[in-house]
Structure 1
C-alpha cells in the first residue's frame, strides 16, 4: 500500500485557512459578535513583501475579545493562523483557542483555556475537560501525529492538561481528522456558552481582571514574538502583539 501524499505548502496553507474560516463562520453565526470599527491590521506585510498577513478583532455580549488572524511566509514554508475567543465575565465557560500552522509540517493547537484553578474546582475540571481528555488520548495513540511540547515554560503553564498540541504529516487524512476534531470542539463549546449559568455580579470584576491579565501575558510572552519582530520589524510586531489582547490601538 502506498503512503499518503504530502501536500505542498500552498495547498496545506489554503486548506488550514478553510478549516479556520469554517470555525469562524460557525461562531459568528451563533453568537452576537461585532467587528471593531477600526481594523488597522486587516492587511499587512513584511518590508520586502514576502510575508503577508491579516488580523481582525471583534467583541460582543458573550465575547469580550476575538482575534481572527493569519500570516504566511511562503518562501520559508512557514505559516500560522489563529482564532481565539475570550469570553466575557458574564459566564465562566473556558475560553476557546485554535492555532494552526505549517512548520513546514502540519501543526495545530486546540484548547479550552481554564478560567479557574483546576486543582481546586474538580466539578469544573470534569465538566469541561473530560471529553477533551479522551480526544487527547486518541491522538496520542495515532501514529500519524506527534505531541508538540513547547520549550517555553510559560506556554506549557498556559495550556490545559488536555490541550491538543500536535504536529503531523501534511496529508489529506491529517487535515480531515483535524477538521472533524476542531468542529467537535467548537460545537461542544458553543453549547456550553448557550447553556451557561451567569456569574454572580460581585465576582465578575475579578474574573475580568484575571482574563485580561492572562490574555495580555499570552500575547506578550509568546515565543514567536521574536520571529515576528525579525520579519515585520519592531513597530509592526508590537502593534500585532498589542492587538491580540488590547481593545485600544496605539
Structure 2
C-alpha cells in the first residue's frame, strides 16, 4: 500500500485535463441513493440559509454543483453537496451528518472525489465524546469496525492512503477512517462505494440502537457538536481550492453552510420546534 502526502490543492494543480466523467456519473448516482436512504429514515427539512448555493451547468460547461443543508428533530445538521468539472478531472461531493443531542452517536462524514484521474474516497465517524478517556464510547462505536479497517489495508495494496500534510486534519480523523485513492479503474470505484454503503448502514444501526442522552447533558453535547462542525469547516485545507474555483466570497458562504453558521432552523432534539 502506498501513501499520498500532498494537499488537495496540490493534487488539483498536478492533475492534467483528464476526463473523469465515467467516475463522476457513478459518484452522483451513489450520492443520490445514499441521500434517499437517509430521507426514508429521518425527517429532514431544507434550511433556507443554503438557498441559492448552486452553479448551474452541464458536463463540459465548467464547474457546476449545489450545496443543500437540512435539519430535523433527530438530525441537527446535514450537508448534501456536489461540485464538479469532470471534463477537467475534478469532482468533489459530500454527505456529512451531525446527530441531535438526544444521542451521542458520532458524526458521519463521507466524500467522493476525483482530484485528477484517481478516484478518491473518505468515510469516518467523528467522535462527540473524548474517546481516549471515555473507553465505553470507544468500544461501543469504534472497536467493532477496527477489524474491517485492518482488512481493507491488508487486502488492497493497490490503494494509496491519503496522508494530509495538515496536523489538524490528521488528528480529526478517527482510528477507523477510510481515506484512500486508487487506480482509475472500476474496481476502485466499486470498493469506495461499497465502503460508503457499509459505513452509512453501520452508522444508521448505531443511531437506532443508541441510548438517550440525559436532558441535562444535551445542551453541552449540542454545543460541542456545533463547535466541532464549525471548526472543521473553517480549518479544512481544501478551502483554498474553493477560493481558486469560486472566489473568496463564495468560499466563505460554503464554509458557513458546512458549519451551519447561518442556519435558520432550530437545533434538533428538545430544541426542535418546527
> One fold, TM greater than 0.5?
yes
* Aligned match of 1:216: 230
Of the three residues 145, 161, 165, the one matched with 2:159 is 145
* Aligned match of 1:117: 130
Aligned-residue offset at 1:42:
4.4
Structure 1: segments with no counterpart, 5+ residues: 1-6
Of the three residues 168, 171, 177, the one matched with 1:154 is 168
Counterparts of 2:111 and 2:251 in 1: how far apart (Å)? 18
* Aligned match of 2:269: none
The yes-or-no answer on 1:65 pairing with 2:77 is yes
Of the three residues 18, 30, 36, the one matched with 2:41 is 30
Using the TM superposition, name which of 127-136 and 230-239 deviates more.
127-136
Q: How does 1:43-192 map to 2 (within 5 A)?
A: 43-44=54-55, 50-104=62-116, 105-141=118-154, 142-192=156-206
* Aligned match of 2:11: none
Counterparts of 2:81 and 2:122 in 1: how far apart (Å)? 14
Q: Is the 8 A contact 1:132 1:163 kept in 2?
A: no
**Which is bigger in relative contact order (C-alpha 8 A, separation at least 6)?**
2
Please state whether the residue corresponding to 1:244 is helix, strand or coil: helix
Q: What do the CA deviations read for 1:104-160 (whole angstroms, capped 9, x no partner)?
A: 211111001111111111121111112322222122121221111111111111111
Of the three residues 3, 14, 36, the one matched with 2:25 is 14
Using the TM superposition, name which of 61-70 and 31-40 deviates more.
31-40
Aligned-residue offset at 1:229:
0.9
Counterparts of 1:131 and 1:24 in 2: how far apart (Å)? 25
Counterparts of 1:249 and 1:240 in 2: how far apart (Å)? 12
Give the CA RMSD over aligned residues: 1.9
Counterparts of 2:94 and 2:174 in 1: how far apart (Å)? 17
Counterparts of 2:120 and 2:151 in 1: how far apart (Å)? 17
Q: What do the CA deviations read for 1:5-33 (whole angstroms, capped 9, x no partner)?
A: xx950010111111221111111111121
Using the TM superposition, name which of 220-229 and 175-184 deviates more.
175-184
Structure 2: segments with no counterpart, 5+ residues: 1-17, 265-274
